């Protein structure tokens, strides 16, 4: 009971600190991460289309849509062709007190008929072999960022991180389902849109996060959609609509 009381007290303190940080800004922050970059091209399609170039275009379109569509602030983890380690991408969202982190990616596979977008959220156990494959590919960059919670006792830290991580994972899954609902009329989606995988770039104890695989560069139709202004606009609008609802729910709890 003593340990539980200490954990509850620590959670309450963390919640108060988060509320104070949010109160300092009228607009919540959304962080958009353009996957890969620099020496890391990511997936490459048969026609030479590189994931790092497509994700930056999509991320920029998302930023513009969000700024014109929602009462939010938006930050990009990169605005040019540069390499960022995974822990730095996630740290940007945590340090800036973001309410949502969206990492934009494209996939590629030897099966040309593979098509459609997928949203991934963090889980220690992958939902299927494809989710496990994607996690293995994306996790090669570096190790997970550490979380500094001060000098609290180790047992309290362990329990606190576990509690907040579970809450964050639930919020991430909720947003992934919301995105699927809003994106369905605007772009091709996989039937099993929301999947879970042990993706390092999504392991955050305090920021809901998704990895949005927007389609397959190995599929000619998907690649053409992803590299087009129209396609990027539809992806951005899908995210903007979902963020509208997410921010509305967030504001209701402030």
0.85 exceeded by pTM: no
Per CATH, the number for 27-252 is 3.40.630.40
Q: How would DSSP label each residue in 131-196?
A: HHHHHHHHTTS-PPPP---TT--HHHHHHHHHHHHHHHHHHHHHHHHHHHHHHTTTS-EEEEEEEE
Q: Please compute Rg for the chain using Cα positions.
A: 18
Q: Which distant-in-sequence residues (6+ apart) come within 8 Å of 186 by Cβ?
A: 234, 235, 237, 238
Buried b (16+ CB within 10 A) or exposed e, 72-100: bbbbbbbeeeeebebbebbbbbbeebbbb
Cα–Cα distance between 131 and 121 in angstroms, integer? 10
Looking at residue 154, what is its pLDDT? 52
| Phi-psi category of residue 245: left, alpha or beta, with phi > 0 → left and psi -120 to 50 → alpha | alpha
Give the per-residue pLDDT at 166.
Answer: 76
**Any idea where the domains of the chain sit in the sequence?**
27-252
Report the side by side order of strands in the sheet with 73-76. 73-76, 29-34, 100-107, 209-216, 117-122, 189-197
Q: Give me the residues paired with residue 50 across strands.
A: 44
pLDDT for res 153:
53
Task: Point out the residues of the chain with pLDDT beneath 50.
Answer: 1-24, 126-128, 131, 134, 139-152, 156-157
Considering only CA atoms, which of 223, 229, 210, 240 is closest in space to residue 118?
A: 210
- In sequence order, what DSSP letters do the residues of the chain get, joined into one string? -HHHHHHHHHHHHHHHHHHHHHHT-SS-EEEEEE--BTTB---B-TT--BHHHHHHHHHHHHHHHHHHHSS-EEEES-SSS----HHHHHHHHHHTT-SEEEEEEEE--S-TT---EEEEEE-SS-SSHHHHHHHHHHTTS-PPPP---TT--HHHHHHHHHHHHHHHHHHHHHHHHHHHHHHTTTS-EEEEEEEEE--GGG--SSS-EEEEEEEETTSHHHHHHHTSHHHHHHHHHHHHHHHHHHHHHHHHT-
Q: How far apart are CA 104 and CA 86, in angstroms?
A: 13
């Amino acid at each position: 009971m003593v340990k539980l009381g200490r954990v509850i007290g620590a959670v309450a303190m963390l919640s108060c600190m988060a509320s104070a940080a949010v109160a300092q800004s009228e607009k919540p922050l959304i962080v958009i991460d353009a996957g890969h970059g620099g020496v890391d091209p990511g997936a490459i399609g048969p026609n030479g289309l590189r994931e790092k170039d497509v994700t930056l275009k999509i991320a920029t379109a998302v930023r513009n849509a969000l700024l014109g569509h929602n009462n939010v602030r938006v930050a990009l983890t990169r605005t040019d062709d540069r390499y960022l380690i995974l822990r730095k991408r996630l740290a940007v969202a945590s340090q800036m007190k973001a309410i949502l982190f969206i990492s934009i990616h494209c996939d590629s596979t030897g099966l040309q008929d593979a098509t459609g977008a997928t949203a991934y959220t963090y889980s220690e156990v992958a939902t299927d072999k494809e989710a496990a494959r994607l996690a293995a590919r994306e996790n090669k960059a570096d190790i997970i960022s550490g979380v500094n919670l001060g000098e609290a006792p180790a047992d309290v830290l362990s329990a606190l991180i576990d509690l907040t991580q579970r809450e964050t994972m639930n919020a991430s899954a909720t947003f992934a389902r919301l995105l699927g609902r809003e994106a369905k009329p605007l772009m091709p989606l996989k039937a099993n849109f929301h999947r879970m995988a042990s993706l390092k770039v999504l392991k955050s104890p305090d920021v809901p996060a998704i990895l949005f695989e927007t389609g397959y560069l190995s599929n000619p139709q998907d690649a053409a959609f992803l590299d087009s202004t129209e396609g990027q606009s539809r992806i951005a609008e899908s995210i903007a609509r979902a963020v509208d609802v997410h921010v509305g729910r967030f504001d209701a709890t402030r």
